[in-house]
Amino acid sequence: MRIVSGMRPTGKLHLGHYFGVIKNWVKLQEEHETFFFVADWHALTTGYKNISALHENIEELMVDWIALGLDPQKSVLFIQSKVKEHAELYLLLGMITPKSWLEWNPTYKDLKYNLLRISDLELMIKNSIRDIVKEVVAKLPYKVEDFELLEEQLVDDMAQSIIKGIFEGYLARDILREINVSKRDFYETDTFGFLGYPVLQAADILIYKAKGVPVGEDQLPHIELTREIARRFNYLYGETFPEPEALLTPTSKLPGTDGRKMSKSYNNAIYFADSKEEVQSKVMKFFTDPQKLRKGDPGRPEICPVFFYHKIFTEEVTVKQIEEDCKKGALGCVDCKRMMFERLEAFLEPIREKRQKAKENIKQIKHAFLDGSHTASKIARQTLEEVRERMNLV
């Protein structure tokens, strides 16, 4: 089966990327015809202002992929922007994709919802300030001329300062967290590129006539949209694209050091680029069962992220022992973390070495990705010729 998937170059990879995506890709490349691409155009849909690190991020991603086992002899590894055909197909598919399909995309709907909540927040802040200003002015021993004009000006100025404070991170981090929005989402993401990225994703997949796309559950709506776009194209111009199937990735949601999902934005990730010392320091700060304060206290391994890691990296018989000892208070968290660190390091150390080697061979790796881009281009060109013909563009 031909399989296509991509990853945005947004920084170094962490353990969550490996267990959520790459491990599965490495397995798939053994059994299928696989195309994996660095989605640099997609990185611009949200990060078009932060391009200074783009080159470095692409390189880091290539290095991580190779160190984690993706093999240019087994997979076509390439850079999206080196295969310009994606862009032409994106344009053509954009012509036939109803805008409403994109507006229903859950990521876009979330953005719109958050923007709405921010404007509610703005209104709430303004009303509160207005009440305070009125109260203060009423208590003044003299009458303020043109009070209404002054009030508006004051309310606007103060509200703007508070809102600016919120988005610059000085104030109310909890408010931002609660409404699940970041400064970037608010200011930068309401663009044509962001609205249209599912069409680019459809082009990325359909240009190779892929039959399978490995995705996490959150990506399912995008694959459904790709299928709908393929169906619409086939209906309008004749059978051209197969409808790709979503290959649901068997994910284990790896917790970060604070127990939440591992993510760069939560600052709770363990990176493959981290040194042994950095990993050790992160492991020793890991969140554990908050009810277990000292060694003698009975713990609850089932809610403890450290135990989650033991289940992945530690031998089964030791995991059972840890579970028992934790529950009866015979094991302290510090010792438990030290054991986990040893096992985790046994997994990370060889990858770190491969990373180092890959960095030293970066020229060859870049060549391999360029070769991959040529191979991908050849197939993409054939599909585009067919598409142009179907659309009377020849």
**Which residues of this protein are in contact with ligand SF4, per CB under 6 A?**
288-289, 292, 299, 301, 304, 306-307, 326, 331, 333, 336-337
Tally Cβ neighbours within 10 Å of residue 63: 24
Complex with ligand SF4: residue 256 or 299, whichever CB lies closer:
299
Q: How far is the CB of 265 from ligand SF4 (least distance, A)?
A: 25
- Amino acid in position 110: D
Complex with ligand SF4: residue 123 or 293, whichever CB lies closer:
293
Q: How far is the CB of 310 from ligand SF4 (least distance, A)?
A: 7
Q: How far is the CB of 318 from ligand SF4 (least distance, A)?
A: 12
For the residues of 238-255, what is the DSSP string, one character each? -S----PEEEE------B
Q: How far is the CB of 230 from ligand SF4 (least distance, A)?
A: 48
Complex with ligand SF4: residue 86 or 337, whichever CB lies closer:
337
For the residues of 251-276, what is the DSSP string, one character each? ----B-TTSSBP-GGGT---BTTS-H
Complex with ligand SF4: residue 40 or 289, whichever CB lies closer:
289
Using CA atoms, how far residue 320 sits from 314, 317, 323, in Å, is: 10, 5, 5
Complex with ligand SF4: residue 268 or 288, whichever CB lies closer:
288
Q: How far is the CB of 23 from ligand SF4 (least distance, A)?
A: 24
For the residues of 144-199, what is the DSSP string, one character each? PTTHHHHHHHHHHHHHHHHHHHHHTTSS-HHHHHHTT--HHHHHH--SHHHHHHHH
Q: How far is the CB of 315 from ligand SF4 (least distance, A)?
A: 15
- Amino acid in position 275: S
Complex with ligand SF4: residue 60 or 289, whichever CB lies closer:
289
φ and ψ at residue 54, rounded to 5 degrees: -60, -45
Q: How far is the CB of 308 from ligand SF4 (least distance, A)?
A: 9
How are strands ordered across the β-sheet holding 245-248? Answer: 75-79, 33-38, 2-7, 212-215, 245-248
Tally Cβ neighbours within 10 Å of residue 194: 20
Q: How far is the CB of 316 from ligand SF4 (least distance, A)?
A: 15
Q: How far is the CB of 299 from ligand SF4 (least distance, A)?
A: 3
Complex with ligand SF4: residue 326 or 376, whichever CB lies closer:
326
CA 263/CA 280 separation, integer angstroms = 18
Q: How far is the CB of 100 from ligand SF4 (least distance, A)?
A: 48
CA 273/CA 279 separation, integer angstroms = 10
The residue behind tokens 């640099």 is: 40
Complex with ligand SF4: residue 121 or 344, whichever CB lies closer:
344
Complex with ligand SF4: residue 346 or 370, whichever CB lies closer:
346
Q: What is the 3-state secondary structure (H, E, C) of 106-144?
A: HHHHHHHHHHHHHHHHHHHHHHHHHHHHHHHHHCCCCCC
For the residues of 69-81, what is the DSSP string, one character each? T--TTTEEEEEGG
Complex with ligand SF4: residue 106 or 290, whichever CB lies closer:
290
Cα distance between the two ends of the chain = 31
